[in-house]
Amino acid sequence: MKELGDPVIKELVLDVLKQHAPSLPKFASLVCELECVDMVDITLVEMNEQTESLKTVLNGNSLDFEELKNYMGKQGAVIHSVDQVVVKKNEE
């Protein structure tokens, strides 16, 4: 459990590579089902015959990077890079 004042991740911008299935709307919905995620904004950057490269912006009160990475892996996606992180002191 996070203590008052401990830093928490509020936003992540990720470079994600995924297979064509699930579809982009389904993938975004699946990621948004995670308790730590409040909003998902995904932009298709590039597509080839087998994969899609995505700019994925995630917002939440306390994003759990490891949980996100593992869950995306179960959906056939891999995080290539973390391009931006917003961290704030926990106020709850």
> Which residue reads 């995306």 in tokens?
72
Across the beta sheet with 39-47, the strand order is: 39-47, 51-59, 7-19, 77-89
Name the CATH code of domain 8-87 (choices 3.30.465.10, 3.30.70.1340, 3.30.1600.10, 3.40.640.10). 3.30.70.1340
Of 32, 81, 21, 19, the C-alpha closest to 55 is: 81
pTM of the model: 0.89
- Over its length of 92 residues, how does the chain's per-residue pLDDT go in tens digits? 555 678 999 999 999 999 999 999 999 999 999 999 999 999 999 999 999 999 999 999 999 999 999 999 999 999 999 999 999 987 76
